[in-house]
Homo-oligomer: A and B are copies of this chain.
Amino acid sequence: MVKWFIFGKPLHTGAVTAVDVKESDRELLKNYLEWEETDGGLCFSCRMKKKDAVYGLGENVRGINKRGWIYESNCSDDPFHREDKRSLYGAHNFIILAGEDRQFGLFIDHAGKLVFDIGYTETDRLAVTAPDRDVSLYVLEGESLTDIVGGLRRLTGRSYIPPKWAFGYGQSRWSYMTADEVRRVAKEHRERGIPLDSIYLDIDYMERYKDFTVNGDSFPGFGKFVEEMRGQGIHLVPIIDAGVKIEEGYDVYEEGVAGNYFCKTQDGRNFTAGVWPGRVHFPDMLKEEARKWFGGKYKVLLDEGIEGFWNDMNEPAIFYSEEHLQEVWEQMEDYRGKNLDINSFFALKDLITGISNNEGDYQRFYHEYEGETIRHDKVHNLFGFYMTRAAGEAFDRLCPDKRILMYSRSSYIGMHRYGGIWMGDNLSWWSHILLNIRMLPSLNMCGFLYTGADLGGFGADVTEDMLLRWLEFGIFTPLMRNHSAMGTRRQEVYRFGDTEAFRRIIGLRYGLLPYIYSEYMKAALGDNMYAKPLSFLYPGDERAKEVEDQLMIGESIMVAPVYEQNKTGRYVYLPETMKMIRFRSLTDREEQVLPAGDHYVKIPLDEVVVFLRPDHILPIAEKGGQNVEEVDFENLTLLHFTQTQSEYEYYHDDGYTKDYDNPAHRTMLRAGC
């Protein structure tokens, strides 16, 4: 059901793994799209009917239905996820037109910039423009929207599966500065009985931001410290950045220079950018030998007992390039001592604020890729993908039977085989809870199943109620991490008054893990989605189609998080009769059957409600735990809403090895009337 169309000489991105897809006759594309050469590039377009929805685009602003805005695939380090932003960190070039009278998916496999005008310029026109004109385009058809999503996965490969402990709760901060600070974070959780599986190490654990080093003063005896934390059931998860510090005597730098592993300027020098450590070189992640080398460096930390990583700054973010900074200094001289009016003053400001992530800088360096020298901007959207691929391939070599946690900030479809992503550097805004709710199924469509938001918000200041509400959604996301930025209010849950509520909500996550893990594994192994919009399950229901603040999580339940301040309830639309389960904690719960239709449901600040579908089962652990290892995945309580008979295929494995497809991991659970 896949048709492949090629325009020009598109670069091989590595996204597609299917080997049996053949190029189709271009005439067939006319059944879906028109195309034309425009000044802006090669443009594919079609008209949309009034009720057509457009899904996909993974990590982006706005709704689940992407209609009514213009998006660009152009991986960007931009922490202000405002409604008017066109690009975030990832490039997820997959959309589904869910039309009144047709539906198909469109994967534009293209490493450069793409513009998706989805009813922005003209409300009834969908137009995808590739400025670079060399495009590989796949049209996917399917019986259902979910089936179309499955088609993309069959084309681009199975989604990444993390170790089971990575479904536990993680606590992060930019940064915990010392081992003692980490110990304190662990202690504060353990003393209060707040479950915790991981603590994250942001950039300051390194020695002056040098990848694959550990600051020996603040984290002395690192290997022993990792072991000490593991003894408390806690994994340390260090960050790895894209840029390698230029410093004589630093082995990674010296190896990179010696091996010719870094991106080059036009005249063949190693390209210099400024990031956290100041001046760095970027490993040429697209160059096979460089990738193999860089991936191999993770061994330094694996050998210390580390079992998980997050890859950051890999759009790649560039604070400044040496060359451009020099130009700016020179241009600034023109303004000195002048009467700065409206034009000149803002030009001066733009000069400075435009230093970072400057488009021009992405044209100043080059990759070696499959034997060719390619300017970075032509393959910009692949950098994060290939950095994470470097790690993923290395893990397969270094520890082939063990799952390693890996997620990235920047990404491209195809990277979903090697790791997850987090939803980027969001803000402590109520509207970002809703944004993250909407991003989850969109990312799932594009293959990214292991994902979640910085709960509580990364930038800006959180409030206690916001953190609680965000966690109440976060307990349903595969990646569940509380993370916040330097300079913002501290947001570890024990910093607030009502620790007891936090303990119960996070504790509930652990009780739900048998279901969450089982659903994740079934989605990953079955090329399915873990979280779906209601419209994917109830395609004929016009009301369900407009619901974008409720999600289907797995096959059995619907969630409807509260994402507004000072609210003790919300409206919920039920596409069918469901059983509402109100959790005050894992064990303190209440059930009520609600008929299909509209309901106003009370949801106090410290409670969670889920809606169970008829003839479905929600298996929960009889006993949660302080970390994933303590959770009892064997003895289950089957919450069910049985009208005739309820069945549930339960996936359960050891969570750490890779014998995924063993049928012994699947058991059929049943609950009768």
Q: Using a CB–CB distance below 8 Å, which chain A residues touch chain B?
A: 53, 62-63, 65, 67-70, 82-84, 119-120, 122-123, 209, 274, 276-279, 319-320, 325, 329, 332, 336, 339-342, 344-345, 348-349, 352-353, 355-356, 427-431, 460-461, 463-466, 497-498, 543, 546, 548, 564-569, 571, 573, 598, 600
The reply to whether A566 and B63 contact each other, CB–CB distance below 8 Å, is yes
Give the residues in chain B near A543, CB-CB below 8 Å: 600
CB-defined A-B contacts under 8 Å, sample of 20: A53-B566, A63-B564, A67-B566, A82-B427, A82-B429, A82-B460, A83-B431, A84-B461, A274-B339, A274-B341, A276-B342, A277-B341, A279-B339, A325-B340, A348-B352, A431-B431, A546-B566, A571-B600, A573-B600, A598-B600
The reply to whether A460 and B84 contact each other, CB–CB distance below 8 Å, is yes
The reply to whether A465 and B123 contact each other, CB–CB distance below 8 Å, is yes
Nearest-neighbor residue (CB-CB) of A335 within chain B: B329
| A317 CB, min distance to chain B CBs, angstroms | 12
**Given A83-B430, A84-B429, A276-B342, 18 further pairs, Cβ under 8 A:** A63-B564, A65-B566, A67-B565, A70-B461, A83-B460, A120-B463, A123-B463, A123-B497, A209-B342, A274-B339, A274-B341, A277-B341, A278-B340, A278-B344, A320-B345, A352-B352, A352-B353, A598-B600
Give the residues in chain B near A497, CB-CB below 8 Å: 122-123
CA distance A348 to B325 in the complex (A): 12
Nearest-neighbor residue (CB-CB) of A461 within chain B: B84
Nearest-neighbor residue (CB-CB) of A349 within chain B: B352
The reply to whether B340 and A336 contact each other, CB–CB distance below 8 Å, is no
CA distance A122 to B463 in the complex (A): 9
Please judge, given known A-B contacts A84-B428, A463-B69, whether A341 and B278 are in contact too, CB under 8 Å: yes
Give the residues in chain B near A63, CB-CB below 8 Å: 564-566
Please judge, given known A-B contacts A276-B341, A428-B84, whether A68 and B463 are in contact too, CB under 8 Å: yes
Nearest-neighbor residue (CB-CB) of A203 within chain B: B342
Give the residues in chain B near A341, CB-CB below 8 Å: 209, 274, 276-278
| A432 CB, min distance to chain B CBs, angstroms | 8
The reply to whether A319 and B336 contact each other, CB–CB distance below 8 Å, is no
CA distance A82 to B123 in the complex (A): 27
Give the residues in chain B near A356, CB-CB below 8 Å: 349
CA distance A353 to B123 in the complex (A): 37
Give the residues in chain B near A355, CB-CB below 8 Å: 349
| A270 CB, min distance to chain B CBs, angstroms | 15
| A621 CB, min distance to chain B CBs, angstroms | 31
Give the residues in chain B near A342, CB-CB below 8 Å: 209, 276-278
| A462 CB, min distance to chain B CBs, angstroms | 10
CA distance A86 to B140 in the complex (A): 48
Give the residues in chain B near A339, CB-CB below 8 Å: 274, 278-279
Give the residues in chain B near A345, CB-CB below 8 Å: 274, 278, 319-320
Q: Which of A65, A84, A279 has the most CB of B within 10 A?
A: A84
Nearest-neighbor residue (CB-CB) of A338 within chain B: B278
Give the residues in chain B near A464, CB-CB below 8 Å: 123
Give the residues in chain B near A465, CB-CB below 8 Å: 68, 123
Give the residues in chain B near A278, CB-CB below 8 Å: 339-342, 344-345
The reply to whether A566 and B68 contact each other, CB–CB distance below 8 Å, is yes
Give the residues in chain B near A431, CB-CB below 8 Å: 83, 431
Give the residues in chain B near A548, CB-CB below 8 Å: 564, 566
Give the residues in chain B near A565, CB-CB below 8 Å: 62-63, 67-69
Give the residues in chain B near A276, CB-CB below 8 Å: 341-342
Give the residues in chain B near A466, CB-CB below 8 Å: 68
CA distance A548 to B566 in the complex (A): 10
CA distance A242 to B498 in the complex (A): 48
Give the residues in chain B near A564, CB-CB below 8 Å: 63, 548
The reply to whether B571 and A571 contact each other, CB–CB distance below 8 Å, is yes
Nearest-neighbor residue (CB-CB) of A546 within chain B: B567
Nearest-neighbor residue (CB-CB) of A66 within chain B: B566
Closest 3 CB pairs of A and B: A278-B341, A84-B460, A278-B339
Give the residues in chain B near A70, CB-CB below 8 Å: 461
Give the residues in chain B near A119, CB-CB below 8 Å: 463
Give the residues in chain B near A546, CB-CB below 8 Å: 566-569
| A534 CB, min distance to chain B CBs, angstroms | 14
The reply to whether B352 and A83 contact each other, CB–CB distance below 8 Å, is no
